[in-house]
Structures are given as C-alpha cells and as structure tokens.
Chains A and B, each alone.
Chain A
Amino acid sequence: MNAATETAVAAEATGEPEVMLKVENVSLSFGGVRAITNISFDIRKGEIRAIIGPNGAGKTSMLNVINGFYHPQEGVITFKGAARSKMRPYEAASQGIARTFQNVALFKGMSTLDNIMSGRTLLMKKHFFWHLFHYGPARTEEIEHRRKVEEIIDFLEIQHIRRAPVGRLPYGLQKRVELGRALAMEPELLLLDEPMAGMNLEEKEDMSRFILDVNSQFGTTIALIEHDMGVVMDLSDRVVVLDYGKKIADGTPEEVQANQDVIDAYLGVSH
C-alpha cells in the first residue's frame, strides 16, 4: 500500500512519466508453492529499474512472468498500455521485451557472431523460400543485419572473440555476449537477470558502463535483478524490493536503503 503511494509521489516529482510496463496484483504459484504473492509495481519509459531481494524472494520468477515464460494465476500485466493475460514468450519478444539469464543461456554450439545474429531473428522478415538459396532478398537481409550486429560487437568491445564458439569463452565475456544478443533484438524493455553475477570488480565496472550506455544511447528501458547493492544503487533510478514473494518496498535507492523492512529482510530478521 504505502509503496504504491511512494510511487505516486515519485511520479508527481518527475511530472507524470510514461509508464511502459505495469504489474498489478500478480500472484504465481507452482503446485501450491507460492512464488509471488500479489505484487504490483511499474516500470517507466527510459528508466533503469532494479528488482532486489534476498535469495528465493521471487525475483527471477517475476522476470519470467513479465516475459511470458510463466503465467500468473492472478493479476494483470500491462505492457505499452495493452493488458495481456496469457502470452507465449516469443510473443513477448515480438512486442519488444528482451532478456538475459541468471546462468548464461547462450547457444553453446554457435559463435559469438551467430549468437548475436540470432537476436535478429524477429527482425528478419524475408520469406523462407529465399533462404533456401541464400540469395536475393534473403542475402541482402542477412548482410544488413550482419552490419547491425557488428555495430553491437563494436559497442560491447568484443571484436576479438567474434568467431569464437561461445562455449569456450570465459564467464564474463559470455555475459557480455548474452547482453549483445539481447541488444540485437532492439528491445524497448530489457530485462537483465543478475548481469554481474560471478564477475570480478573490473568486469562489473565494464558491465555497469555498458548498461548505462545502453540506457543513454539507445534509450532502452531496463529492469535488472542484482545482488551487488553498490551496483544497484549506482545504476538504478528506482528500486523495488521483494522478500518471500512479497513486495516490501519501492522507491528511489535512497528511500529503499532507509526502509526498515528492507534492512530487516537483508539482515534476515524473521517474519
């Protein structure tokens, strides 16, 4: 409840910003086990929104709900004004939602280039028939997209691993490639599931820089889950805190840091 008012206040402060995604009273459970309980929050156009919380707080489940991999039993999700009930993940993708995964989900059998290329799938429109001969429209299309992909490779500074099979890359780079793949989709909303998990300090700094650049240069709206509090506080405009599948706080990093429930949750005070 009070979280909601907080949001409202924040909204006035920034002069009614456009809301890109709205999650209202969403609940999700697996065979009786409740993963998410009646959660509501919104993500505004162009902001970096962090979702934090202790392990098992239902953060990843939340992302899975947002991009349609799980279907909540209750609640409504409104994306770009259109409320939707059940939608398949690829529909979410076609509406402009991209994401990365907690434990890298790259296509191990393919090269960096192909992995990022795969992100263009939805943007490739030419008919199957042409692809049979890799000729005419299909070929030119392939080339155009290759160029776009190369720009992303350049942006993420991974030229040197262009041809390397991603399976053999160090973890940090794999994460970067995965981000590249998501960017290749030219998403409006980018969901990042612990983009810096298992990275050393330097890698984290790079990744933070990239995330900020993405947000500023492409104007992509970003929702990210992250454990590293420092990172979250630096990167995000607003933070929503989950604990045991419930929302316990929502607001600017400062507000959240000050919130007693949050402190308890992180100190593990029993509920």
Chain B
Amino acid sequence: MADAAAIAGGRLDTFPKLLVRNAIVRGGKPAMREKDLGIWQTWTWSEVLDEVKTFALGLQDLGFERGDTCAVIGANRPRLYWTIAAVQALGGTPVPVYADAIAEELAYVLEHADVAFAVAEDQEQVDKVLSVGDRLKSLRHMVYDEPRGLEKYDHTRLHSFEAIQTKGRESLRTDQTAEVRFFDEIEQGKGSDISIILYTSGTTGRSKGVMLSAERCIAAATDTAVFDHLSDADEVLAYLPLAWVGDHYLNYAQGMVAGFCMACPESGETAQHDLREIGPTFYFAPPRVFEGLLTRVMIRMEDASAIKRKMFHYFIDVAKRYGEDILDKRPVPLVGRLLYGLGNALVYGPLKNVLGFSRIRTAYTAGEAIGPDLFSFYRSLGLNLKQLYGQTEAFLYVTAQEDGHVRSDTVGPAAPNVEIRISETGEVLFKSPGMFIGYFKNDEATKGTVDDEGWVHTGDAGFFDHDGQLKIIDRAKDVGKLVDGTLFAPKYIENKLKFFPNVKEAVAFGDGRDFSTVFLNIDLNAVGNWAERNNISYASYQELAGHPQVYEMLQSNVDKVNRDLAHESAMAGAQIHRFLILHKELDADDGELTRTQKVRRSFIAERYGPLIEALYDGSSEKFIETEVTFEDGRKGRIAATVQIRDMTVYPAVEEVKEAAE
C-alpha cells in the first residue's frame, strides 16, 4: 500500500519519486509553463503530478508494461516531458528523439531501442513514424499531442494525448485502486533502473544509446544544483532539443531536483521573444548562439542615431575595462564603478532587458571553444557567463567553472564529486556521479569507452592549467607530438588563430616534425574591408592573400598566439615557427573542407605537400599549382608563388599573471 506521503518520505532515487516529493512540499508552486494561446499556461507541481498520473494510467490501460521503451519525438512541449515522467513512473524507459531527425535516423533509433510506444508532437512527426512503420516491429501504439490535421487518420493504434488521459481519469474515477496502483508503480522503481536512454548524435558511424540510471542522474543533478545554488525560485526556458543531454539535465533533471519552473516556448521561431518574456534565472546556450546574438546587437545598433551609437560604444568600452572585474568582485577604481553604474543604467541594463538576460544568475556555455572577446563581452555586461565541459556519457557535467574564477580558454576544475585524470596520451578520463551504465545493446562500444578501472575515456585531449582549470585542446586522436615529444594539438592552435577576424581558416602541422607550422586563409570580408579602409587595391583573392601588408597583419596575429602559448607550460613547445597564407580559399567543392566546413587535414596535407615541405626546408617562398573547381563546376588550375614567414619563438613562461592576458 503506497501513497504519496510514503514515497516522499522514502528514498528519492527516481524522478517520479522526486515529482511526488515536489507535489507535496511545493505543490502550489509553478512547475511548468508553456506559451500557448497568447499567455503562459502554467501548471503547478501537483497539477503536473495529476497530468502525469492520468497519462500513466492511460498508458497502462493501453498495455504499457514495466521495461517497455517509449520514444518521445518532438520539440519542448510540456506533454512530452510529462510523457518522460509517466514512462519512468511505470518503470519503462523513455527514448527521446531529435525532432529534426530525418525518417531514416528516426527509424534507426526506434528500431534499435525497440520501442513499444511512441509519443509524437504533431502530424509531421506522426507522418515520419508512419513512413517507416513497417520496420518498427515492436511498436504497439502511437500517441500525439497536437491533433491538428490528424482527425482523419486511422485511430486503431493512434491516440490523442487527451484520449489517453481521459482513459486515465476514467479509471481513477471508476476504480479506487488506480491511484494506489500508480503510486505502487512508482515505489517499485529502483535507483538502479535505466532512467533514460539518450542517443548521441554519432559523429562517427551509428549513434549510440547512452543508458543512464536514475540514482546517478539524480546524484549528479543534486551536486550541480547545489553548486549553482538552484532553488524552486528559479525559472528556466527549455528551448534546447528535448533529446539532447543538455536539455534533459539542465531542465528536467535539475528541475526535478531543485524544484524550479521550466518554461516551454511557443515555437522555435518565437524562442528569442519568449526568452525575453520569461527572463530566466538560469540559462545555457552554445557559443554560436551568443555569437549570433552579438552580431544582431551590433547590426541593430548600426541603425541607431549617431549619439546613441556613440554612447553605446563608449559604455561598452567602459564595460570592457571594468565589467569583468566588478563581476568577479575584484578591486575597481571609484571612477570605474561610477562610469559602470551609469553605463548600467543607460546601456547594460536595457540591453540585457531586451535580450531577456535581466534576471539571469548563472549562464553556461559549452560544446566548442568560445572566442575570448565574445565571452568577455557578455561577462562585462554583468552576465555571469561560465563554461562547463561535459558529455552525454557523464550525464553532462565533467568540469564547471566556479563563480569568480572564470576564463574563456579553460573549462574549469572538476565538477563536485568528479574525478579527472589525464592519460599519458593526454586524453581526459573521468569518473563522475552521473556517469552512464553503458551503451544500449552495444557492449564492445562500452568496453571501448570505459576501462577496467572504471575510467570513462572522453576522447578529448586536455591538460590542467596552472590554476587547476582543465583546458580541452583537441580530439585526442588528432593530438600528436613534435619530435622533441611536446604535445601538438592542431585544433587548439587553429582555434586560437581563428579567433582573429582576419583569419578564416587555419591548418596546423607538426605531428612528428621538429616544430609546428600553419597554413592560413584570410577572411575576405574582414581583410577586404581593411584593405579598402587603407586604400590597398587588389585584383583577386590571390593578390590580396599575397599582399605584404596582409602578411604583416597576420604575422602580428600569429605572434600574439605564440605569446599566449608561451604562457601555457604544456603548449609552449608548440609555438608556431613558420606560417604561410594560402593563395586560394579552402573550399568544400575541392574536398578541402567537409560539407560542415571542417578542415580535412590529411587531404590538405597531401594536396599541398610541396608547401608543407617548403615550410620545413627553410625556403622563403614556394611556387605551387593546384586544380580548382569553379562555381559553375568547371575545373581549372591556379598557380602562385607563396611567401613563407618565420616567427619569433618565446621562452616558456612558468608562473602566469592574469594581467598578462
């Protein structure tokens, strides 16, 4: 005989149990919102529990059994989150799928996870599933949230969410045991149960289903919730893909643990506007979002009146000088504080307001390297933006930066209760409270990732910086060594170079060589503008790329990078000794880039072999002829003599002054 109180009193090792707890301790507080029909429809924790209860019971009527897997396909909609909870309550395993997955990917996941049920957002998703229906032997029933356009479909194995919930209410009304049955199901749930299976968007080969256990998820979420002082006073906007670990962790898991309120935007397009309305207190976005936002800000300011523009840039400059110090509570001259205060009234405050950042206490970014200027722009506005490093296998957090100790080029120290080790190959290994159980139906992959001592191999290379913060430098497999054995991380060097607006692409070489060298691609827009402003005339990309002054400019950039590297014990040896500027733009049509604009190092190495040789044989210039594909697909050859520059190399500086940054 289970009831809510008993569960709430007992061990809270599954999300449904947490849900019950929340419904009891903060039943009246908002748990979820969705922008719908013009207002933020809101559900309190107890209402959410009821929704989940009715839906779960409805599913049971439909024959859902403990151990069944249920696909959840769609964008961030409350009902889809309730589905996750309901499935977990019945001892099943939810399998979220990316809404934008093409039918093929969808089919693979649903088949691989042999889902018995699928809950889809709308007609579009339903159609997708139906289109591959014949392959889904185990699929028994499908449920949809948004009925529009589905009236005329055959409803023998297709049900509307309402219909299911009505069933649930029915049984609640008719038989008294229903309620108890529901709570029994929850109570039967064990911490060791698989709470969810998240499919990693596989960069290599088929995507793998990461199995996460309830107790570990909760353990991890609890740690970070404490780490960031999250409470039920917080509000978040759930706009990241439902099937991505980030969303499940930051919104669902932490929400259940801390009991804060999750808001779902009206639609993808309105997310930005909804963000502004909700004004979340905890926020996550990948670097490119912040970057896009910054560009839009600058573009819009261009249309502002001259005075306003001047004021804006003046105070942004003030912020650059004092902002971050004030944010990190470092000493700041009074003048600085006053100016900053004024700027806050005139620019930062309003700006954060229109961006929807006013109430943010903690914001994270992760996933890729973020440009230092970009990063400090937001921080200087007083936005507490931090970096974390994580993985689906770790249930997100591996490292996270603490308030006040934030840098753009590190990802912070190990998160609470996380152990990190750097293997001799330089790969980052970890053990964390949230770490996964294994890959679903894929043991050898699991073995490949978790070694006998239980360390999870991230596949990323990194090292701890002097202040104990982890620095991720590259995918481990891409990291090589110079002849003298120093670490050579091409991506790391390339990123440092690419943060300069003039540099479009950079390709670094050095594995098994005496020193590292780079190819550079100029950014035609940036350099072109610069050329116009300094009335430097040029007839072609090639001419501009070869222009002495351009070389000067990029040389100074490379020099800056070397200085930086010199400060990083581990990387000092990998400073750039020689570089050249390619006479043509690296192009996917020529197979030099992937379609996703990533450099194909090996291909380039072999295609521009002579140039690489030249970089290492000390010659100061080199003639090269390469085949190119033009817009119209015609093939042609272009030839050029490429200049090569030598760089000064700096002695490694051991102890570092922040000031030097």
The reply to whether B38 and A153 form a contact with Cβ atoms under 8 Å apart is: yes
* B270: interface (CB < 8 Å): yes
* A121: interface (CB < 8 Å): no
The reply to whether B266 and A159 form a contact with Cβ atoms under 8 Å apart is: yes
Residue-wise, chain B 264-279 has the 8 Å CB interface mask toward A (1 for contact) of 0010011000000000
* A window 173-222: CB within 8 A of B: 216-217
Instruction: Kindly identify which residue among A147, A160, A216 contacts B37, using a CB–CB cutoff of 8 Å.
Output: A147
* B151: interface (CB < 8 Å): yes
Q: Which residues of A contact B270 (CB under 8 A)?
A: 159-160
Residue-wise, chain B 612-647 has the 8 Å CB interface mask toward A (1 for contact) of 000000000000000000000000000000000000
**A202 CB, nearest partner CB in chain B, Å:** 17
The reply to whether B37 and A150 form a contact with Cβ atoms under 8 Å apart is: yes
**Given A159-B266, A159-B270, A160-B270, are A154 and B37 neighbors across the interface (CB < 8 Å)?**
yes
Residue of A nearest to B152 (CB): A216
Instruction: For the complex, give the distance between the alpha carbons of A216 and B38 in Å.
Output: 25
* A6: interface (CB < 8 Å): no
Residue-wise, chain B 496-517 has the 8 Å CB interface mask toward A (1 for contact) of 0000000000000000000000
Q: Which residues of B contact A159 (CB under 8 A)?
A: 38, 266, 270
* B window 2-61: CB within 8 A of A: 36-39
Q: Which residues of A contact B266 (CB under 8 A)?
A: 159
Q: Which residues of A contact B269 (CB under 8 A)?
A: 160
Instruction: For the complex, give the distance between the alpha carbons of A153 and B39 in Å.
Output: 13
Residue of A nearest to B149 (CB): A213
Which of B36, B38, B39 lies at the interface centre, i.e. has the most chain A CB atoms within 10 A of its CB? B38
Chain B: how many interface residues by the 8 Å CB criterion? 8
Residue of B nearest to A150 (CB): B37
Q: Which residues of A contact B39 (CB under 8 A)?
A: 150
Q: Which residues of A contact B38 (CB under 8 A)?
A: 146, 150, 153, 159, 162
Residue-wise, chain B 116-158 has the 8 Å CB interface mask toward A (1 for contact) of 0000000000000000000000000000000000010000000
* A window 150-166: CB within 8 A of B: 150-151, 153-154, 159-160, 162
**B431 CB, nearest partner CB in chain A, Å:** 47
**A140 CB, nearest partner CB in chain B, Å:** 16
Q: Which residues of A contact B151 (CB under 8 A)?
A: 216-217
Instruction: For the complex, give the distance between the alpha carbons of A204 and B657 in Å.
Output: 65
- The DSSP consensus for interface residues of chain A is helix
Residue of A nearest to B269 (CB): A160
Q: Which residues of B contact A154 (CB under 8 A)?
A: 36-37
* A window 122-166: CB within 8 A of B: 146-147, 150-151, 153-154, 159-160, 162
Which of B37, B151, B269, B270 lies at the interface centre, i.e. has the most chain A CB atoms within 10 A of its CB? B37
Instruction: For the complex, give the distance between the alpha carbons of A217 and B152 in Å.
Output: 10
**B276 CB, nearest partner CB in chain A, Å:** 14
**A107 CB, nearest partner CB in chain B, Å:** 19
Instruction: For the complex, give the distance between the alpha carbons of A198 and B154 in Å.
Output: 38
Q: Which residues of B contact A150 (CB under 8 A)?
A: 37-39
Instruction: For the complex, give the distance between the alpha carbons of A81 and B253 in Å.
Output: 61
Instruction: For the complex, give the distance between the alpha carbons of A151 and B38 in Å.
Output: 9
**A57 CB, nearest partner CB in chain B, Å:** 36
Instruction: For the complex, give the distance between the alpha carbons of A251 and B637 in Å.
Output: 67
**A139 CB, nearest partner CB in chain B, Å:** 16
**A237 CB, nearest partner CB in chain B, Å:** 17
Q: Which residues of B contact A153 (CB under 8 A)?
A: 37-38
Instruction: For the complex, give the distance between the alpha carbons of A151 and B270 in Å.
Output: 18
Instruction: For the complex, give the distance between the alpha carbons of A162 and B39 in Å.
Output: 12
Q: Which residues of B contact A147 (CB under 8 A)?
A: 37
Instruction: For the complex, give the distance between the alpha carbons of A160 and B35 in Å.
Output: 12
Residue of A nearest to B36 (CB): A154
Q: Which residues of B contact A217 (CB under 8 A)?
A: 151
Instruction: For the complex, give the distance between the alpha carbons of A21 and B38 in Å.
Output: 36
Residue-wise, chain A 80-112 has the 8 Å CB interface mask toward B (1 for contact) of 000000000000000000000000000000000
Instruction: For the complex, give the distance between the alpha carbons of A159 and B266 in Å.
Output: 9
Instruction: For the complex, give the distance between the alpha carbons of A217 and B150 in Å.
Output: 11
Q: Which residues of B contact A216 (CB under 8 A)?
A: 151
Which of A153, A159, A216, A217 lies at the interface centre, i.e. has the most chain B CB atoms within 10 A of its CB? A159
**A36 CB, nearest partner CB in chain B, Å:** 38
**B127 CB, nearest partner CB in chain A, Å:** 16
Q: Which residues of B contact A162 (CB under 8 A)?
A: 38
* B window 209-264: CB within 8 A of A: none
**B38 CB, nearest partner CB in chain A, Å:** 5
**A184 CB, nearest partner CB in chain B, Å:** 14
Instruction: For the complex, give the distance between the alpha carbons of A150 and B36 in Å.
Output: 9
**B42 CB, nearest partner CB in chain A, Å:** 15
Q: Which residues of A contact B37 (CB under 8 A)?
A: 147, 150-151, 153-154
Instruction: For the complex, give the distance between the alpha carbons of A159 and B34 in Å.
Output: 14
Instruction: For the complex, give the distance between the alpha carbons of A162 and B266 in Å.
Output: 14
Residue of A nearest to B266 (CB): A159
**B186 CB, nearest partner CB in chain A, Å:** 34
Residue of B nearest to A209 (CB): B149
* B window 313-340: CB within 8 A of A: none
* A window 204-259: CB within 8 A of B: 216-217
Residue of A nearest to B37 (CB): A150
**A76 CB, nearest partner CB in chain B, Å:** 37
Instruction: For the complex, give the distance between the alpha carbons of A40 and B39 in Å.
Output: 48
Residue of B nearest to A146 (CB): B38
Instruction: For the complex, give the distance between the alpha carbons of A155 and B509 in Å.
Output: 57
Instruction: For the complex, give the distance between the alpha carbons of A159 and B265 in Å.
Output: 13
Instruction: For the complex, give the distance between the alpha carbons of A150 and B35 in Å.
Output: 12
* B window 523-542: CB within 8 A of A: none
Residue of B nearest to A157 (CB): B267
**A206 CB, nearest partner CB in chain B, Å:** 14
**B273 CB, nearest partner CB in chain A, Å:** 8
Instruction: For the complex, give the distance between the alpha carbons of A12 and B268 in Å.
Output: 50
Instruction: For the complex, give the distance between the alpha carbons of A23 and B395 in Å.
Output: 70
Instruction: For the complex, give the distance between the alpha carbons of A92 and B289 in Å.
Output: 54
Instruction: For the complex, give the distance between the alpha carbons of A146 and B37 in Å.
Output: 9
Instruction: For the complex, give the distance between the alpha carbons of A162 and B270 in Å.
Output: 13
Residue of B nearest to A163 (CB): B38
Instruction: For the complex, give the distance between the alpha carbons of A147 and B41 in Å.
Output: 12
* B window 554-576: CB within 8 A of A: none
Q: Which residues of A contact B36 (CB under 8 A)?
A: 154
Residue of B nearest to A159 (CB): B266
Instruction: For the complex, give the distance between the alpha carbons of A213 and B151 in Å.
Output: 11
* B window 274-307: CB within 8 A of A: none
Q: Which residues of B contact A160 (CB under 8 A)?
A: 269-270
Instruction: For the complex, give the distance between the alpha carbons of A151 and B148 in Å.
Output: 12
Instruction: For the complex, give the distance between the alpha carbons of A101 and B600 in Å.
Output: 60
**B35 CB, nearest partner CB in chain A, Å:** 9
Instruction: For the complex, give the distance between the alpha carbons of A150 and B269 in Å.
Output: 18
**B223 CB, nearest partner CB in chain A, Å:** 39
**B159 CB, nearest partner CB in chain A, Å:** 19
Residue-wise, chain B 163-177 has the 8 Å CB interface mask toward A (1 for contact) of 000000000000000
**B61 CB, nearest partner CB in chain A, Å:** 28
Residue of A nearest to B273 (CB): A160
Instruction: For the complex, give the distance between the alpha carbons of A217 and B269 in Å.
Output: 26
Instruction: For the complex, give the distance between the alpha carbons of A217 and B38 in Å.
Output: 22
**B592 CB, nearest partner CB in chain A, Å:** 38
Q: Which residues of B contact A151 (CB under 8 A)?
A: 37
**B342 CB, nearest partner CB in chain A, Å:** 33
Residue of B nearest to A113 (CB): B38
Closest 3 pairs (CB-CB, A-B): A150-B37, A150-B38, A154-B37
Please list the residues of chain B having a beta carbon within 8 angstroms of any beta carbon in chain A.
36-39, 151, 266, 269-270
Please list the residues of chain A having a beta carbon within 8 angstroms of any beta carbon in chain B.
146-147, 150-151, 153-154, 159-160, 162, 216-217
A-B contact pairs, 18 of them (CB 8 A): A146-B38, A147-B37, A150-B37, A150-B38, A150-B39, A151-B37, A153-B37, A153-B38, A154-B36, A154-B37, A159-B38, A159-B266, A159-B270, A160-B269, A160-B270, A162-B38, A216-B151, A217-B151
Q: A162-B38, A217-B151 are in contact. List 16 more A-B contacts (CB 8 A).
A: A146-B38, A147-B37, A150-B37, A150-B38, A150-B39, A151-B37, A153-B37, A153-B38, A154-B36, A154-B37, A159-B38, A159-B266, A159-B270, A160-B269, A160-B270, A216-B151
